[in-house]
């Protein structure tokens, strides 16, 4: 499962955990990336979706070095 959120929609890690619990989505690791906008504007939905699709494919292939990873308690996770 993946979602795109602005800082206004999800500003804390606790909010992410709470939202996932409400959606009844169990997870052990969350991968995080940021997507910059242009000229002070947020990326379009299409840009965000394309980036999320690429991110999901990378994670499925085990190519996770470009992302931050955290466990459910908010601890940073590193893969070696």
**Confidence band, pLDDT 50/70/90 cuts, at residue 25:** confident
Domain-embedded: residue 46 = yes
Residue 22 maps to a domain:
yes
In degrees, rounded to 5, the angle at the alpha carbon of residue 46 between the alpha carbons of residues 41 and 77 is 85
Q: 30 and 70 in contact (C-beta within 8 Å)?
A: yes
Q: What is the pLDDT of residue 77?
A: 95
pLDDT band for 40, please (50, 70, 90 cuts). Answer: confident
**Residues 6+ positions from 17 with CB-CB distance below 8 Å:** 72
The answer to whether residue 79 sits within a structural domain is: no
pLDDT band at 8 (very low <50, low <70, confident <90, very high): confident
* Arithmetic mean of pLDDT over the chain: 89
Structure tokens at 49: 């979706």
How far is Cα of residue 13 from the mean position of the Cα atoms in its chain? 11
Asked if the structure places residue 32 within a domain, the reply is: yes
What is the model's pTM? 0.78
- Inside any domain, residue 58: yes
Does residue 56 sit within a domain? yes
Place 58 in a pLDDT band, splitting at 50, 70 and 90.
Answer: very high
Looking at the 3D structure of the chain, how many domains does it have?
1
Question: Is residue 50 included in any domain, yes or no?
Answer: yes
- For residue 4, count CB atoms less than 10 angstroms from its CB and return exposed for 0-12, middle for 13-18, buried for 19 or more: middle
């Amino acid at each position: 499962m993946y979602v795109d959120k602005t800082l206004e929609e999800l500003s804390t890690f606790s909010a992410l955990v709470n939202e996932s619990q409400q959606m009844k989505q169990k997870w052990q690791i969350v991968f995080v990336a940021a997507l910059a906008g242009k000229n002070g504007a947020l990326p379009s939905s299409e840009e965000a979706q394309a980036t999320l699709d690429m991110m999901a494919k990378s994670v499925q292939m085990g190519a996770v070095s470009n992302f931050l990873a955290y466990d459910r308690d908010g601890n940073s996770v590193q893969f070696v």
